[in-house]
Amino acid sequence: MTYKTFTTSLAGAAPPAGINPILTALWYDGNDNWEQAHTIAQSKEGTKAYDRLHAYLHRKEGDEWNAGYWYRRAGAPVFKGSLQAEWEELVRENL
């Protein structure tokens, strides 16, 4: 799957079959379903990739303190760009 294919899939009714759970969460987030994306992020707390997703979601929510906690747990620096740029980076990393 390419980035373009993934972003095109956002117009569909459901995430593409067979994608990894983090991409599924990003698909839900891309469709304004933060709660479903957050549920996926919480499903494997303690796993760096899921903690990194969790950080992004709390940053998007506007909870900078909680986002910082999850960035630290993921061993990742706090993202300094836009939310859209962070979403794109996460999608590309998980394709």
d(CA 64, CA 18): 32
pLDDT (tens, 9 = 90+) of the chain, 95 residues, equals: 999 999 999 999 999 999 999 999 999 999 999 999 999 999 999 999 999 999 999 999 999 999 999 999 999 999 999 999 999 999 999 99
**Is 78 among the domain residues?**
yes
**Is 55 among the domain residues?**
yes
**Is 38 among the domain residues?**
yes
**Is 49 among the domain residues?**
yes
Q: Give the phi and the psi of residue 82 in degrees, each rounded to 5.
A: -70, 165
**Paired tokens of 76:** 């990742």
Q: How many domains does the chain have?
A: 1
d(CA 82, CA 24): 21
Measure Cα distances from 58 to 25, 70, 90 in Å: 13, 8, 14
Range(s) of the domain holding residue 90: 18-94
